[in-house]
Amino acid sequence: MQSELSESKPAMTKFVWTFVYACLVVICVFFLLGQSTNVDGNQSIMKGDLDATMFFGITAAGLIFHYVFGASALGCLAVGSVGSFVLLTIGQEPLVRYLTLSALLFAIGMYGMVRSRNAVRVLMSIELMLNAVNLNLIAFARYIDPGAVKGQLFAIFILTVAAAEAAVGLAIVLSVYRTTQTVDMNKFNLLRW
């Protein structure tokens, strides 16, 4: 009954509510942009935690738009994460921007790693997380330590480890698939006692 109802809901409403949510987020971003161009605007924003409050607001609005009005989940997720990324970094210095982007990519990768049922997608999410760490290190090398680029050095080692991890992980997935005929994470219980 529930699924029939949600299917009979026209796709137009879904799109319209996602669009309304996007407009709301854009208004929030422009409001904060206007605040940050004031004299000492950035300091006052950080002191009053205005950006954190608006991030909470965007999250809550996304949940409401998805669960109450039926906006599309992926649309809300994309608009919410892009919007809150821009909102949180708009007045910050470049290093904080890069670190925030890397934190966001890391969080997305972690969510995908825990959530997905296909073992190969789990490996893809882990690659995403390793890439976020690399971005972090290279941003540090650029802005903190541009003389002896130590961050890039460690990024090279992470690149190596990521390649090794991908090769071994995918070989394990193939081997398990040959044994159990599945790559479903919920059915990987060969080692359960």
Partner 1 sequence: MNILNVQDLVTFQATETVAFYAVAIVAICLSLGVIADRNVIRAGFVLIGVFGGISLLFLMLQAQFLALAQIMIYAVGITLVVVIALMLTNPRLEKEAEAEELTGERAPLFAMVDAVKGAFPAVVGWFSFFTLYLAVRSEGWNVTDEAVSPDNLKVLGESLTTSYSLPFEFASVLLLAALIGAIMLAKAERKSTGSEIETVD
Candidate list 41, 57, 69, 142; residue touching partner 1; CB under 8 A: 142
Rounded CA separation 21/18 (Å)? 5
Site size with partner 1, rule: CB under 8 A: 89
Rounded CA separation 193/187 (Å)? 14
Contact 95, 141 (CB under 8 A): no
Minimum distance from CB of 182 to partner 1 (Å)? 7
Measured from the CB atom, the residue of 17 and 99 that comes closer to partner 1 is 99
Rounded CA separation 125/110 (Å)? 7
Measured from the CB atom, the residue of 34 and 146 that comes closer to partner 1 is 146
Q: What is the dihedral sign for C-alpha 52, 54, 58, 61?
A: positive
Residues 6-45 that bind partner 1 (CB under 8 A): none
Residues 111-130 that bind partner 1 (CB under 8 A): 111-112, 114-121, 123-125, 127-128
Torsion over CA of 121, 126, 130 and 132, rounded to 10 degrees? 70
Minimum distance from CB of 29 to partner 1 (Å)? 11
By CB under 8 A, tell whether 71 contacts partner 1.
no
